[in-house]
A = this chain, B = another copy of it.
């Protein structure tokens, strides 16, 4: 009943501007198909470089959501 159960999935969001934006985008994408997204935690921050500039911030997060029926 009242003991929630969560599933965690792992996503990598990318952004040309910031770490926060990469996280926002990953969560927004997950929200399209999963209800009740509840929390996230940062796992890793990487990025690719072009011409001496960061091209994409690549931020891997775990996202938790309730799966109770």
A residues near B (Cβ < 8 Å) are 3-20, 22-32, 37-42, 44-49, 51-54, 56-57, 60, 62-64, 67-69
Provided the pairs A13-B5, A41-B44 are in contact, do residues A54 and B19 lie with their beta carbons within 8 angstroms? no
Copies in the assembly, this chain: 12
Q: How far is the CA of A16 from the CA of B32 in the complex (A)?
A: 22
Q: CB-nearest residue of chain B relative to A18? A: B20
Q: Which 3 A-B pairs have the closest CB atoms?
A: A31-B52, A6-B12, A42-B45
Residues of B near A22 (CB, < 8 A) are 3
Q: How far is the CA of A20 from the CA of B63 in the complex (A)?
A: 21
A28 with B53: CB separation less than 8 A? yes
